[in-house]
Amino acid sequence: MQDSDLPNHLSRTNCEKLLMDNQIIVEDENLYLSEGIQEFGYLLIVNLECNLVAGSENCKDWLEEDLTSCLGKDLWVFLQTYFPIYLDSIKKAVDQVLQDSSDRVLLEIMIHEKSYFLNIYLFNNYIYLEFEKRIEDSTVFFPKFEIADKLLSDNRGKIWEVVCSYISKISGFDRIRVFQYVEGGNGLIVAESNENPELEGILNCYYPDMDIFKHAKNVHSVNIHRYTANVDGETIKVISNGIDEPNLSQTNVRMISPIHAYYLKKEGVNSNFSVSIQVEGKLWGYIFCQSQHAKSINLLKREALVYFIQLAANRYHEEEKFKIREYQEDIRNFELQLKEKLILKNNLAESLMDLASELCYYAKSDSMIIMINGQIYSYHISIGSGKLFEIKEMVKRIAVGDTFADHEFILNYGKFLEIESDRFAGIGGLHVNLNDECTIIWFRKEKEFTRKWVEKPVSRIEKQLINETFTHEPHSSLDIWHQKTVGTSEVWQEDELYFIKRLREIIIQSNKNFAQEIDKLNKEVGNLNRALDNYANTVSHDLKNPLSAINLSTQLLLQRPNMKEELRNKMLKNTKDAVDVIGELLRSVHEFSKIKDYEYKFEPVYVDEFLAQIVNFSQLRYGAEQTEISLGDILPVYGERTIVYQLFQNLIGNAIKYSAKVERPKVKITSEVQHEFICYRIEDNGIGIAKEELGTIYDSFKRMSNAGNYEGTGLGLTIVKRIADRLKIKIEVQSKLGKGTQINLLFPNER
């Protein structure tokens, strides 16, 4: 853009003075006052003492006196004269914005039988009363946010296309554009909807970092949206008392600046509604709603459009975060694969080469090489080893840190290295110097890039890069330039650099932890072997009851071939039940042996389904058919059926065994709900346990001093304790020597 392209009253010097100071738009020669406001609005400004200090010249339309004569008057006296019926409402609104300076209050009032919106706000220690005519909207559609939200949800990845289409429908603007800031302050039109063939479309075109966008940043950093109904419309002057100079930065009806008006007219636009897109609190870009001719749109609809655009911006941000999370999850899965290979192979080169395809995929490269201690491993590239070492040495000289990326590597160093860009153009990589010196280099092929600029990219052209050419396209209104860039690869993006850095960290960590991992695995194998031994002891102990039942039943069947059919069936059933129990125990051993840490399947266990069987087996085994068994309520518990069975088998078996030889042996089994527990109580009147021995009852192979005349290995209560720990059961043991034992089991009540 040349100075001669601008109107006479806009020099480049003035354009470069468009700066922002806090939340005030600072423009050369107080343009915010000389511009005034648009013809559909009215403005009154009062100081904190509520005295009128400024107002728009057109207020004379509904005043009975000249505005100048009203300056200095008390606001409430003024309102009592002209708006008596709205006095209380306006006073409440003023009090509200004085209490919260970030608030804006919107009222609807009537002036001379015409409807107006009144926007009241506090800015820079002045109270603004901004009036705007309520306009008949020719486009009857109004945003419905449930529809808008569904549109956004149903069109993932196409947020801005949906936004353009929807705004076009409900607003009636000719053309909707989504402008995104990209590298170096340049802009890109990422989405567009155009209903007017006379207005040119520029989808996927770039804007250079121009003065007009510096001005746009300035304006939209202060005010999220700006509306100009008619660029050629009359500018209404703002008259002040000569002492106070209120600022119009936050005024919605403020007239467009001359430089902005010039650019809009240059593109054939006479009406413009622009909204800034904020993502994570930062200016991401804008939406420009434009019409060839003057376009009136009501304040409420404009506010609704702003809300919809921010809703879309939030949804866009959520999508971008989801993409990042998905990518990082992919990276984590890849990391697990690599760590597993590094542990199993204990060979860095082999592990990396096994995953070479994935390494290239995540780095978005065409090929790669791995150099470890002078050895070279390549994937999809053939370059002499001498040349590769030259590349490595060049990288070591130019790289800052241990990871690097350069999409112009051959352009910058190809001549020195005597390598042409037809082999590759850009590289990225990492270097690790541990016990094994490791360098990984990824290669990207050359890719030709083209861009279409809708204004002359002066700063790019002035650089005169040898790999870039610019050609000008004659055009009736736009200053079209075509850029062509050769000799480079695609630029390395943040996610690809993130992967390279993560890979370096994994290699370092795996190298440090390898010995620890081997030691850990050895310990796990040892623990597993011990667990299998313990489990074998447990199972061998618990097999005795069903084996005894089978043995006794078989003996009776052999010794008494003519026994009654009822007794025979009972013996056969005992044998069948015992075989089922043994099968279940063997299944558990098999499952346990397949994994490191057996995962028990917890579920409701109905104890009454197997309690009678356990009692029957135990009575048969210990010859205790005369023992009186008393059962109370038998409630279900939460656990794993097999080990719950083993738990009750050991405890009930002990109760029956150690009471079998006393006079009138009794065993009582009951259960009840106690707060958050299901409490089982197993009582017997057997030999009991000495008080001094209660502390050692869970020790392996520990037998009580009074148990010499009873069979056993001393593992029964050891098994019980292990099962209780696994099921998170509390055990309470009460016993008196020669009187009997009571065991309480407190199961967590999960129902």
- The more confident residue out of 701 and 635 is 635
Residue type, 549: A
- The more confident residue out of 721 and 343 is 721
Q: Give the model's confidence band at 470: pLDDT under 50 very low, under 70 low, under 90 confident, else very high.
A: very high
Closest CA to 246 of 234, 254, 256: 254
Q: What is the pLDDT of residue 29?
A: 37
Distance CA 23, CA 101 (A): 13
pLDDT tens digit sequence for 30-70: 333 336 899 999 999 999 999 999 999 998 888 878 888 88
CATH of domain 600-748: 3.30.565.10
Q: Give the model's confidence band at 704: pLDDT under 50 very low, under 70 low, under 90 confident, else very high.
A: confident
Q: What is the dihedral of CA 51, 53, 58, 64, to 10 degrees?
A: 40
**CB atoms < 10 A from the CB of 296, how many?**
17
pLDDT tens digit sequence for 73-91: 999 998 888 888 999 999 9
Q: What is the pLDDT of residue 694?
A: 87
- The average pLDDT across 126-154 equals 80
- The more confident residue out of 191 and 382 is 191
Closest CA to 167 of 314, 315, 297, 316: 297
Q: How would DSSP label each residue in 619-684?
A: HHHHT-TTPEEEE-----EEE-HHHHHHHHHHHHHHHHHTTTTSSS-EEEEEEEEETTEEEEEEEE
Q: Give the model's confidence band at 463: pLDDT under 50 very low, under 70 low, under 90 confident, else very high.
A: confident
pLDDT tens digit sequence for 653-663: 899 989 998 99
Q: Give the model's confidence band at 713: pLDDT under 50 very low, under 70 low, under 90 confident, else very high.
A: low
pLDDT higher than threshold 60 for residue 321: yes
Q: Give the model's confidence band at 469: pLDDT under 50 very low, under 70 low, under 90 confident, else very high.
A: very high
Most confident range, picked from 9-13, 243-247, 334-338, 358-362: 358-362
Contact predicate 583/550, CB 8 Å = no
CATH of domain 41-133: 3.30.450.20
Classify burial at 49, counting beta carbons within 10 Å of its beta carbon; exposed 0-12, middle 13-18, buried 19 or more. exposed
Looking at 267-406, list the stretches that DSSP marks H as alpha helix, in order from N- to C-terminal side: 299-345, 348-354, 356-363, 385-398
Q: Give the model's confidence band at 579: pLDDT under 50 very low, under 70 low, under 90 confident, else very high.
A: confident
Distance CA 381, CA 496 (A): 20
Q: What is the pLDDT of residue 616?
A: 87
Which residues touch 98 (CB under 8 Å, ≥6 apart)?
A: 48, 122, 127
Q: What is the dihedral of CA 173, 178, 181, 186, to 10 degrees?
A: -70
Which residues touch 476 (CB under 8 Å, ≥6 apart)?
A: none
Angle at 79 between CA 73 and CA 84, to 5 degrees: 150
> Which two three-digit tokens encode residue 539?
């199972």
- The average pLDDT across 328-355 equals 85
Closest CA to 550 of 571, 564, 568, 530: 571
Radius of gyration for the chain, computed over Cα atoms and rounded to the nearest angstrom:
43
Q: Give the model's confidence band at 705: pLDDT under 50 very low, under 70 low, under 90 confident, else very high.
A: confident
Beta 52-56 vs 104-111: how paired, if at all? unpaired
Contact predicate 22/221, CB 8 Å = no
Q: Give the model's confidence band at 5: pLDDT under 50 very low, under 70 low, under 90 confident, else very high.
A: very low
Distance CA 173, CA 297 (A): 9
pLDDT tens digit sequence for 514-537: 545 545 655 655 555 555 555 555
Q: What is the pLDDT of residue 15?
A: 30
- The more confident residue out of 516 and 683 is 683
pLDDT higher than threshold 50 for residue 417: yes
pLDDT higher than threshold 90 for residue 348: no
Whole-structure pTM value = 0.62
Least confident range of 66-70, 99-103, 287-291, 571-575:
571-575
- The more confident residue out of 510 and 224 is 224
Residue 117, strand partner residues: 108, 132
Classify burial at 711, counting beta carbons within 10 Å of its beta carbon; exposed 0-12, middle 13-18, buried 19 or more. exposed
> Which two three-digit tokens encode residue 600?
């028990």
- The average pLDDT across 446-475 equals 91
pLDDT higher than threshold 60 for residue 27: no
Which residues touch 719 (CB under 8 Å, ≥6 apart)?
A: 537, 538, 541, 542, 646, 650
- The average pLDDT across 5-33 equals 36
> Which two three-digit tokens encode residue 468?
């870039």
Pick the CATH number of 3-18+138-321 from 3.30.450.40, 3.10.20.30, 1.10.10.10, 3.30.470.10: 3.30.450.40
Contact predicate 485/449, CB 8 Å = yes
pLDDT higher than threshold 50 for residue 599: yes
Q: Give the model's confidence band at 592: pLDDT under 50 very low, under 70 low, under 90 confident, else very high.
A: very low
Distance CA 406, CA 214 (A): 30
> Please, what is the average pLDDT of the chain?
83
Q: Give the model's confidence band at 598: pLDDT under 50 very low, under 70 low, under 90 confident, else very high.
A: low
Q: What is the pLDDT of residue 448?
A: 93
Percent of the chain with pLDDT over 70: 84
Q: What is the pLDDT of residue 514?
A: 57
Contact predicate 312/283, CB 8 Å = no
Distance CA 713, CA 518 (A): 37
Chain centroid offset of residue 29 CA? 48
Block residue for tokens 């001719």: 293
Block residue for tokens 């870039």: 468
Residue type, 531: A
- The average pLDDT across 576-582 equals 69
Least confident range of 311-315, 582-586, 641-645:
582-586
Q: Give the model's confidence band at 673: pLDDT under 50 very low, under 70 low, under 90 confident, else very high.
A: very high
Matching CATH topology for 41-133 and 346-447+489-516?
yes
CA max distance for the chain: 131
Q: What is the pLDDT of residue 586?
A: 62
Containing 251, the helix (H) or strand (E) segment is none
b/e per residue 247-279 (b: at least 16 CB within 10 A): bbbbbbbbbbbbbbbbbbeebbbbbbbbbbbbe
Whether domain 346-447+489-516 has CATH 3.30.450.270: yes
**CB atoms < 10 A from the CB of 639, how many?**
25
Give the DSSP letter of residue 487: S
Contact predicate 468/505, CB 8 Å = no
Distance CA 580, CA 601 (A): 19
Residue type, 727: L
Q: Give the model's confidence band at 373: pLDDT under 50 very low, under 70 low, under 90 confident, else very high.
A: confident
pLDDT tens digit sequence for 531-565: 555 555 555 555 656 676 677 777 777 777 777 77
Angle at 221 between CA 304 and CA 268, to 5 degrees: 70
Q: Give the model's confidence band at 103: pLDDT under 50 very low, under 70 low, under 90 confident, else very high.
A: confident
- The average pLDDT across 460-484 equals 90
Distance CA 259, CA 6 (A): 8
What are the residue boundaries of the structural domains of the chain, listed by start?
Answer: 3-18+138-321, 41-133, 346-447+489-516, 449-485, 600-748
Contact predicate 186/208, CB 8 Å = yes
Chain centroid offset of residue 675 CA? 41
Closest CA to 273 of 317, 318, 308, 305: 305
Q: What is the pLDDT of residue 536?
A: 57
Contact predicate 470/461, CB 8 Å = yes
* H helix count then E strand count, the chain: 21, 31
pLDDT tens digit sequence for 611-630: 998 998 888 878 889 999 99
Q: Give the model's confidence band at 13: pLDDT under 50 very low, under 70 low, under 90 confident, else very high.
A: very low
Closest CA to 121 of 140, 95, 144: 95
Least confident range of 201-205, 237-241, 713-717:
713-717
Which residues touch 105 (CB under 8 Å, ≥6 apart)?
A: 93, 96, 97, 119, 120, 121
pLDDT tens digit sequence for 230-282: 999 999 999 999 898 888 888 889 998 888 888 888 888 999 999 999 888 88
